Amino acid sequence: MSSRLCKLPPAVLALLAVFVLGACGDSHTKVSTGTYAGESGQNAPYLDVGPLIYEVQLSRELNPTNTEDATYLQGLSPAERQLAPGQEWFAVFVQVYNNTSSALPSASDLTISDTQGNSYTPLAPSPINQFAYRPGLVPAKGQLPVSNSTANSGPTQGALLLYKIQTVSLDNRPLELKIVDPSNPAETASAELDV
């Protein structure tokens, strides 16, 4: 150790060590798992799925008699709107970021599952539903939902993934969202959901 460093107080040396070791991390480390821990994206996981980054903004049950929640159910056919006995509406709101210089396809395989292996795929409401997540190209240096869209300006600021789940799955938590890269199905990421 140089003589200058030896003359520094131990607290200063400890602080210097923290900064040096903190710089050793790889800011490009891919994150493929996370746990949702907050409302409106606070502490939400950023998940790397292929070249895109997905952020879970919020997840929760929906109440069709609630004015806000009824809006999220727009664009479903009468048959799709029907819940079987023991079913609930469940919503996951996500943002997708593309930090590359090329437009890239977003995932179309986004399933949720419970601890008992029950798995659910999202419904695709008609285009009248301005909150719905729609797989497609994410613009270069852009995001889904796109800026100034209804979904991006809404309470969750995320695109809606809408699921019909068995009520019993709420007892078999945590629920987990799994996202599959459309270009390479071997690349996946998952996040525990808050309910």
pLDDT in tens, 68-105: 999 999 999 999 999 999 999 999 999 999 999 999 99
Going from the C-alpha of 125 to that of each of 57, 130, 156, the distances in angstroms are 20, 9, 18
- Structure tokens belonging to residue 16: 């210097």
At 141-174, the pLDDT tens digits run 999 999 999 999 988 899 999 999 999 999 999 9
Q: If you ran DSSP here, which 8-state letter would residue 181 be given? A: -
The answer to whether residues 141 and 51 touch, using CB atoms and an 8 Å cutoff, is no
pLDDT at residue 142 in the model? 97
Distance CA 95, CA 68 (A): 19
Burial of 149 (0-12, 13-18, 19+ CB in 10 A): middle
Model confidence at 30, in pLDDT bands (50, 70, 90)? Answer: low
Is the CB of residue 119 less than 8 Å from the CB of residue 164?
A: no
Return d(Cα 39, Cα 59) in angstroms, integer. 9
As a whole number, the mean pLDDT across the chain is 84
| Structural domains of the chain sorted by starting position, each given as residue range(s) with its CATH number in brackets | 27-193 (2.60.40.10)
Provide the Cα torsion 71, 75, 77, 79; round to 10°: -40
The pairing of strands 33-35 and 188-193 is parallel
